[in-house]
A and B are shown apart, each in its own frame.
Chain A
Amino acid sequence: MAETTPEKTDGVEPETHAPCRVACPVRTDTRGYVDLIARGRYREAFEKIRQANPFPSVCALICHHPCEVECRRQDVDDPVALRHLKRFAVEQAREYRERARHAAEITHSETIGVVGSGPAGLTVAHDCINEGYAVTVYESLPRAGGLLSCSIPKYRLPEEALTPDLEDILALGVEIRTGVTVGEDVTLQELQEKHEAVVLAVGLSESRDLPLENHDHPDVLMALPFLCSVALGRPPQVRDEVIVIGGGNVAVDVARTCVRLGAGTVRMICLENEEEMPAWEWESREALEEGIEIIHRRGPTKVLIEEGRIVGVTVREVERVFDEKGRFAPTYHDDRLSTVAGQMIIVAIGQRANLDLLGGTPVRLAREGMLQFDAETMTTSEGGIFACGEVVTGPGSAIEAVASGHRAARAVLGYLRTGRAPVVEEEKLEAVEELPRNIIEKVKSIPLVAMPTLSPEERKRSFVQFELGYGEKDALAEARRCLSCAVGAVVDEDRCAACLTCARICPFEVPVVDEVARMVSETCQSCGLCVAECPASCITIKRFQDVGEIADRIVALLQDAGTEVTRVEIVCSRDAETKEKLQDRIVKADGEVLARVPVTCAALAGEVDMMKPFELGVKAVLVRRCRECLYNGASKRLAKRVGRTKEILDAAGVGGERLTLE
């Protein structure tokens, strides 16, 4: 990241973005929704999430959160728990979401057929119907959702988490025809005749088999059918000792499902070592916590059967998994054999697409199980037939499927408007540079708010979602850990007098002043102290663009109060534990009527903000600091500013004692 120089145009630096957003496959404005949570505006936070992603509820639980991997806070302590915050916003918006559902207006005569109702297919449907096109989705399973509904275990993604996302899409007017297998119940050609565009989003619905000796034994199961039968409420009887072959996320899902189905011992066999293992690190950690054994660097050769029953698997030691070029090409020590005991085997070594529906159609295959596909236009070899999701990207996470769906939708929409599939480019965003060392040292550490979870013992016993979710206090505390990357100070160069005030008072030594002040976006922490101090009033903070001046907020609040306000309080919101405390509001207490204006840092309060209430007849003004300020020097500067304002109030005949600082 550091090696790429941002392109410069006309001396203006290109806009940079928070790395969490850049890392998100759908470019969710992560920082934006975290900031809205921190300000108690949960519904808006939810809307921001949904703007980029029609599966907010699903992703709040199962997203592999690349945003957190890029979070710059990790250089200070731990990354912000973005997925947990997303879940909080989604949960807060539950009722609002139900109320706000509405059908999309169909304004075009052309229609779109989508094969597959997984995250990719439904994203296409969602995007296209919102543009006024009627969409029909064909799903072979009895329920919508694709792998979300039938392969992700309920302890990770309970039904009630998937339902609201599906309901939103259905409410738009998308028709989902479940139990309809394209290629059997209806042909692709028929879909082509019926719809102006068809999108294949069939996913990877079949497990790859492993042709071991004796693999045709009835207690050798395939991962996806196994998970699907559990999901549909028809779980197979598991034996006491279960062997899961594979080291990916599906293998872990299978193993943990077996634990919950009552298996005594579950052993995973995978070719890779701990680091190479493809499952997400947290998934395998949680599996270990639940007592699952993971046997690394072994490859199965034979299913051992005694008296018609499986007793174990013969494994050989792995010499290496990847060749010199890093390609998957395992080699073994054929002489180093051992036995892993177990009475049931579930194979989870990968998935593949079922492309039977293409039989007899002109849609061509590239190689076994893969479509011939143009990634730039999201089209297959046949005009008007598009594809997206895992069937073209290979195995990935839900959010990647959504991203793929968005692109396919853009291609389809372009095609329907012009008759030609346009090149759909990925949205390129420039991430803000890494936090420099000197800033890392200056940023105060705030401990991560831990997600309350069920204990491994408790969660082993059920399919209940084991992460319990943040309470409001937790979410606010965690949201405030966000460093607000790339939404810091901006200078109006026309008014800047290059007085150096900002450079001298910035707790993070951000501004560089030559002809005018320049704010270095990768270092700015958006605290806003410079705004309060700038003698030319020429600095604004992008983060606060929608907040408004404190004085204006006070005026608005007093106007709406409908009663005489005795005291105005400008309060640092950092200690707030409820959203009520984050809103401008009138509070009645002890015969007093207070107008309370929360601010992200009390040091944002300027002289005019502290004086304005008196002009409007208020008797007293209180400025309250938080317990421990995040910004070096801010508290002292505020105290000096309050001192000066008191003197002015004395001189104005108002009386400085009416202004107090806590």
Chain B
Amino acid sequence: MIKANSKPLGEVFGFIENCKKVLVLGCGGCATVCQVGGEKEVGVLAQALRLKAGTEGKQIEFLENTVTRQCEPEFVDPVVEGLGDVEAIVSTACGVGVNHLVERGCPVPVFPGVDTVFMGSTLEHGEWAERCAACGQCVLHLTGGICPIARCAKNLLNGPCGGTTEDGMCEISTPENPVPCAWAEIVERMKQLGTLQELGEIQPPKDWSTARDGGPRRRVRADLKLDRQEQKVQS
């Protein structure tokens, strides 16, 4: 799922310091799971902002709410419609949530409470790692199920650069931030699978047009989506 970090308190406070009433809006999806923006963290951020407002001599009221998922119209529309005299929203969802609130016609500014960092998995409680870069053309069948796009610092597609350390770490790895070499892992994995020889094949330059490089992406399932005409008929 999507992972994020809390933004520094001072930064978030700076967004809303001139407001009188602010809604801290959490998300019950990924942001909850990665411990950054669920009901609990909404409470923590709201409380921290209250303290900050106090020390800054500002009178700001902070409301708290958490919706099931901020990326769905049905979940955010009631919030957007019921803002009353709320002057700004601080969203603790991933960046999708902020965009989506604006897209759904939120009449007041929406500020990010978190920095969205990556799509990844949980290594253990309190540690997550990037595992997919959403490049739009999966190569995992070529690389033993280990993604060189998401996990190699150089997106290499033809094997490890010369920077792999003896213990299989990437050249950018540091003791504070250990980064395993994805290619060392790929080689190890494919050796186990008995498919190492497949790596001998040269992978041509990748078509990045399906990734972010191709521009903002949209996904349409024609079999699920009714076009305007059909929608009219249905209603």
Contact = CB atoms under 8 A, between A and B. Distances in A.
Does a CB–CB distance below 8 Å link A and B in the complex? yes
Interface stretch (A222-230, A496-504, A593-601): A496-504
Contacts of A500: 122, 125
B29 interface: yes
A499 B28 CA distance: 10
Interface in A472-522: 495, 497-501, 504-505
A649 B43 CA distance: 14
Interface in A441-485: none
A534 B40 contact: yes
Interface stretch (B51-59, B144-152, B176-184): B51-59
A357 interface: no
Given A608-B47, A651-B48, A495 B39 contact: yes
Given A497-B32, A497-B38, A537 B9 contact: no
B40 A535 contact: yes
B126 to A, nearest CB: 9
Given A495-B28, A499-B33, A653-B56, A538 B39 contact: yes
B50 interface: yes
A48 B173 CA distance: 62
A535 B50 contact: no
Nearest to B33: A499
A534 B122 CA distance: 16
Counting chain A CB atoms within 10 Å of each CB, the highest count among B32, B50, B66 belongs to B32
B47 A607 contact: yes
A615 B59 CA distance: 12
Contact of B35 (A535, A606, A615): A535
A536 B52 CA distance: 24
A648 interface: yes
Counting chain B CB atoms within 10 Å of each CB, the highest count among A504, A606, A612, A648 belongs to A648
Contacts of A612: 47
A606 B40 contact: yes
A614 interface: yes
A611 interface: yes
A654 B9 contact: no
A615 B38 contact: no
B9 A615 contact: no
A654 B52 CA distance: 8
Contacts of A606: 40, 43-44
Given A497-B33, A505-B125, A651-B8, A615 B54 contact: yes
Given A648-B9, A652-B9, A536 B28 contact: yes
A534 to B, nearest CB: 6
Nearest to A534: B40
Contacts of B109: none
Contacts of B124: 504
Given A536-B38, A653-B55, A497 B125 contact: no
B28 A497 contact: yes
Interface in B20-34: 28-29, 32-33
Nearest to B35: A535
Interface string A591-629: 000000000000000111001101100000000000000
B51 A504 contact: no
A295 B119 CA distance: 79
Given A497-B28, A536-B39, A654 B33 contact: no
Contacts of A654: 51, 54-55
Contacts of B51: 611, 614-615, 648-649, 652-654
A607 B6 CA distance: 15
B185 interface: no
A569 B8 CA distance: 28
Nearest to B39: A537
A185 B38 CA distance: 77
A504 B43 contact: no
B91 to A, nearest CB: 16
The DSSP consensus for interface residues of chain B is: helix
B52 A501 contact: no
A649 B49 CA distance: 10
Interface in A622-662: 648-649, 651-654
B9 A497 contact: no
Interface string B116-153: 00000010110000000000000000000000000000
A607 B38 CA distance: 14
Contacts of B122: 500
Nearest to B43: A608
B43 A537 contact: yes
A615 B125 contact: no
B214 interface: no
Given A497-B29, A497-B33, A607-B47, A652 B38 contact: no
A648 B52 CA distance: 9
B48 A648 contact: yes
Nearest to B54: A615
B124 to A, nearest CB: 8
Contacts of B9: 648, 651-652
Given A537-B39, A538-B39, A648-B44, A653 B29 contact: no
B107 interface: no
Contact of B39 (A535, A607, A611, A653): A535
Nearest to B55: A653
Nearest to B30: A497
B61 to A, nearest CB: 12
Nearest to A504: B125
Contacts of A534: 40
A113 to B, nearest CB: 61
Contact of B38 (A535, A608, A651): A535
Contacts of A614: 51, 54
Given A495-B28, A497-B28, A535-B33, A652 B40 contact: no
B163 interface: no
A538 B68 CA distance: 13
Given A505-B125, A608-B44, A652 B52 contact: yes
Contacts of A536: 28, 32, 38-40, 66
A285 to B, nearest CB: 50
Contacts of A651: 8-10, 48, 52
Interface string A192-223: 00000000000000000000000000000000
A619 to B, nearest CB: 13
Interface string B74-99: 00000000000000000000000000
A431 to B, nearest CB: 33
A611 B47 CA distance: 7
Nearest to B122: A500
Nearest to A649: B51
A537 B28 contact: no
A653 B52 contact: yes
28 contacts: A495-B39, A497-B33, A497-B38, A498-B33, A500-B122, A534-B40, A535-B35, A535-B40, A535-B41, A536-B28, A536-B38, A536-B66, A537-B39, A606-B44, A608-B43, A611-B47, A611-B51, A614-B51, A615-B47, A615-B51, A648-B44, A651-B48, A652-B48, A652-B49, A652-B52, A652-B54, A652-B55, A653-B56
Given A537-B38, A652-B52, 14 more contacts: A495-B39, A500-B125, A504-B124, A535-B32, A535-B33, A606-B40, A608-B47, A614-B54, A615-B54, A651-B8, A651-B10, A652-B9, A652-B48, A654-B55
3 shortest interchain CB distances as A-B pairs: A653-B55, A651-B9, A652-B51
